[in-house]
Amino acid sequence: MSTTNQRAFNFNAGPSALPLEVLQIAEKQLINFNNTGMSVMELSHRSKDFEQVHNEAIARLRQLYAVPDNYEVIFLQGGASLQFSMIPMNFLQSGEQADYILTGVWSEKALAEAKLFGAPVAVASTKDNHYKNIPSVHQINFNDAAAYVHLTSNNTIYGTQWKDFPTTIAPLIADMSSDILSKPIDVSKFALIYAGAQKNLGPSGVTVVIIRKDLLEKAHNNIPTTLKYSTFTENNSLYNTPPTFGIYMLGEVLKWVEKQGGLEKIATHNEAKAKLIYDAIDGSNGFYIGHAEKESRSLMNITFRLADEELEKQFLAEAKAAGFVGLNGHRSVGGCRASTYNAVPYETCKALADFMHAFQAKH
C-alpha cells in the first residue's frame, strides 16, 4: 500500500484509477453540491446547476483537444460496445463496404457488429502475429469509396497502440476508449472519435463522442430515436436523463488535466511512467517477456509474461500481497498487465518497477 494515503497501487484496466484530487473534491461535494442542499446525483438534469456542469465539461474537452467548430461533442451511454452497433447502424447501408483494421479483441467485436448492417471488410489484421503489433499504414489497401474506416487506437488486452494515424479518403473513425486524453491528437484527422470514460476520463457510465457535422448529415433516419447521433446533438446530449454523476466526475477530471499543464504535460508524464516498467522488462535478460513489439508498445497498458508459468503465478500472488491491484492479464490471454492511465502516479509505477527488480533478484 502507499504509505502516504493508504490507497492501493491500482493498475486496473478499467474501471481504472481516478485522480485522488478529483475523488477528494467529489467527497466534499457529495452531499451538498454548489450550496444546493443536494448531491449532484440528486439534481435534475434540466436544472441550471447541472446545465452548468454539463456545458463546462463539453467546453473543457473542446478546449483541451482544440476541437474544430465543425464538430459536435456529445455524452452518451452504453459504452464503446454500443458504439460498435451505432456506427454501422447510422452510417452503413446493406451491402456497402466499411474498412476495419483489426488490432485486437475490441476491433474484432466492432467488425462483428458491423456485419449485421453491411459488408465490412478487414483491410488489415495482425491476428496471425498474436496482435503483437500495429499494421504498417503503407501496407493497407483502403477502399476510398468505403462508408468509413474504423480502427482502435489502443489495445488494452495486447498492449499495443497507434503512434501515427492513417490519412484516409473515407471518413476515419476511432475507438479511443483506452487512450483518450493521454496525449494530444489532431481531431481534424477523424470524422468520429468515441470513448468510454472509465480509463482516463472518469467513472464508467459515460461515453464521449466527437463527431464531424458532415458525417452526421449522412446518417440514416430509419433507426430508433435513441440510437441516432442527431437525437443527442440536437438536444445537447439531454434527450433523456444522462449519467449525471459520471458527467460531473468527467468535468472534474478535465479540470485536473488542465491543472497538470494540459495534454502535452500529461503525455510526457505517461511516457516517463511507462518507461520505468518497460525498462524493468527489457533489462531482465528474458526473465520478463513483453508481449508487444517495441515500436507498437502502448503507454497505457503494459503487457508481459514471465518465462516460467508457475513463477508467473507466484509473481502475481506476491504482487497482490504487496498492495498491487489489477496486474493479472485479461482472462482471454493471461499473463500480466499494468495499466498506467493518466491518474496512476509516477510513484506507483516506480513501486512496481522496484518490485519487479526485487522479485527477479530473489528468483
Active site positions, annotated: 106, 175, 199
Q: CB count, 10 Å around CB of 285?
A: 7
156 Cβ neighbours under 8 A, 6+ residues apart? 13, 14, 104, 106, 178, 199, 298, 300, 301, 330, 337, 339
158, 238 Cβ separation under 8 angstroms: no
Phi, psi of 302 (to 5 degrees): -100, 115
Any idea which residue has 436544472 for its cell?
47
Cα Rg of the chain (Å, integer) = 21
Q: CB count, 10 Å around CB of 140?
A: 15
**C-alpha torsion sign, points 266, 271, 273, 274:** positive
110, 61 Cβ separation under 8 angstroms: no
Task: Check residue 297 and report its DSSP letter.
Answer: B
